[in-house]
Amino acid sequence: MELTDIWFVAITVLWVGYFVLEGFDFGVGMLLPVMARNETERRVMINTIGPVWDGNEVWLITAGGATFAAFPEWYASLFSGFYLPLLLILLALIVRGVAFEYRAKRDSMTWRRRWDACIVAGSFAPALLWGIAFANIVRGVKLDARHEYVGTFWDLLNPYALLGGLTTLALCATHGAVFLALKTTGEISGRAAVLALRTGVAAAVLAVAFLTWTQIQGGTLGTVILSAVAVLSFAAALGAIAKGRQGWAFLLSAVAIGVTVISLFAVLYPNVLPSTVNPAYSLTVENAAATPKTLGIMTWVAVIFLPLVLLYQSWTYWVFRRRIGVGDIPAHH
């Protein structure tokens, strides 16, 4: 296997980690006005992701940095062509992060509600826009012979991409509800389980439609099998949550999201950004890659430091593994 292939796989793994971990973050944020009935329950929900949400975003930073270093041509074409949606995602993530830190700075219900609205919007927008962006990457965009995007913003809002956005939105909402069922106690956990089943049905329908459309466009036997595994895992997750087995439900939901991301990258390979103008203009793992020396240095850096990052993040989740409920929330000051 060439270094270019290894780094394509590595970037795939980074995006899998991002969508699996940040996915439930987005879900919890979106469900804040739906699940919580009072300020104490809102604090319970926010505290379930409080210790980990910023660490989960490291996967996004690493994926972006790895793309820039390993496939600079891909990075340049992607960030120029998808400038507006990526800017909206960045702004949403900034507002969301500020909201987590500032909502408790004043003892004012109006103040907290405004920041809660920022958390909801900052979770909703990335969950939707990432699906639209990745659907366009798989489908292909208008690249010319110089690998420059020659389309418009509205070209990105095609039916396939919008279906991809709705799919990731529904999957994140369900993943977040399953996480809440696992991480909380009492009434919140019960309501989260019920909501996970309701949103899960919609997510399953959207996912089947999106993955089927993806396979029709350019699937192989291998990607069809991956898509089937993703759908079956998600169905099993809904079955587990219905039986009250929240741990298994969360694990299977994570598997479903991870395998879905892998299947999209498998459909994309060996392209990294197909051209709908002319297939010869497409960016591939070969013509978009950095020099072999650069890839070699990156590989050694990843081998040394990636295990340390994984160990640290695993330790964080272990430390904050306990379920929480309204009884664990002190009086607000």
pTM of the model: 0.94
Tens digit of each residue's pLDDT (9 = 90 or more) over 155-192: 999 999 999 999 999 999 999 999 999 999 989 999 99
Nearest to 97 by CA among 131, 59, 56: 56
Please say whether the beta carbons of 12 and 262 come within 8 A: yes
Measured between alpha carbons, how far is residue 132 from residues 30, 128, 266, 283 in Å? 18, 7, 18, 19
Q: Is 91 inside any structural domain? A: yes
Residue range 36-78, pLDDT digits in tens: 899 999 999 999 999 999 889 999 999 999 999 999 999 999 9
Chain-centroid distance, C-alpha 220: 24
In a domain, 249, yes or no: no
Helices (H), the chain: 3-30, 32-35, 39-49, 53-56, 58-70, 72-81, 83-102, 109-139, 159-183, 186-218, 221-242, 246-268, 292-319
Report which DSSP code applies to 147: S
SS3 188: helix
pLDDT of residue 107: 85
pLDDT at 133: 95
pLDDT for 137: 95
Q: Which two tokens stand for residue 115?
A: 């920041």
Residue ranges making up the domain that contains 125: 3-184+271-328
What confidence score (pLDDT) does residue 192 get? 96
Query: Is residue 121 a part of any domain in this protein?
Result: yes
Task: Sort 308 into a burial class: Cβ within 10 Å, 0-12 / 13-18 / 19+.
Answer: exposed
Q: Specify if 218 maps to a domain.
A: no
In a domain, 254, yes or no: no
**Is residue 211 domain-resident?**
no
Position 26 confidence tier, pLDDT thresholds 50, 70, 90:
very high
Q: What does the pLDDT average to over 123-141?
A: 96
Residue 306 pLDDT: 86
Q: How many CB atoms lie within 10 A of CB 125?
A: 21
Q: Which of 226, 221, 250, 225 is nearest to 236 (CA)?
A: 250
Mean model confidence pLDDT for the chain: 93
Answer yes or no: is pLDDT of 324 > 80. Answer: yes
Mean pLDDT of 241-256: 96
Question: Of 7, 20, 315, 4, which is closest to residue 176 (Cα–Cα)?
Answer: 20
Query: According to the model, what pLDDT value does residue 332 have?
Result: 60
Q: How many domains does the chain have?
A: 1
pLDDT of residue 79: 87
Q: How many CB atoms sit inside 10 A of residue 212's CB?
A: 14
User: How much is the pLDDT for 105?
Assistant: 87
Looking at the predicted structure, is the pLDDT value of residue 80 above 90? no
Any domain includes 255: no
Q: Is residue 52 part of a domain?
A: yes
